[in-house]
Amino acid sequence: MKPMGLNSTPFITYQDIIVDGIDLYEDAFGICPEFSNLFDMLRQVNIVPDKRLTCQLIEKIRKQG
């Protein structure tokens, strides 16, 4: 049995790691930068406010005017 580290990869520093052209967020968190993911997320959000909320907002605007 060999001690650990004798047959593994050589030591490197952070400066030796080249990250140009690599999306670190995608690699770290699995977030794909394509717009299809964004559109899927937006489909889950209700972007049309409830009618009651709209009426309340109109009432507040009229009171201030």
Hunting for tokens 């593994």 — which residue is that? 8
Residue 26 near residue 32 (C-beta atoms within 8 A): yes
Can you give the residue range of the structural domain that contains 26? 14-64
The conformation of residue 9, written as its DSSP 8-state character, comes to P
The verdict on residue 58 lying in a domain is: yes
The one-letter amino acid at 29: F
Convert the pLDDT of each residue in 9-64 to its tens digit.
Answer: 667 777 777 778 777 777 777 766 666 667 777 778 877 888 999 999 999 999 98
Q: How much is the pTM?
A: 0.31
Give the start-end residues of each E strand in the chain.
none
Q: Would you say residue 2 lies in a domain?
A: no
Number of domains in the chain: 1
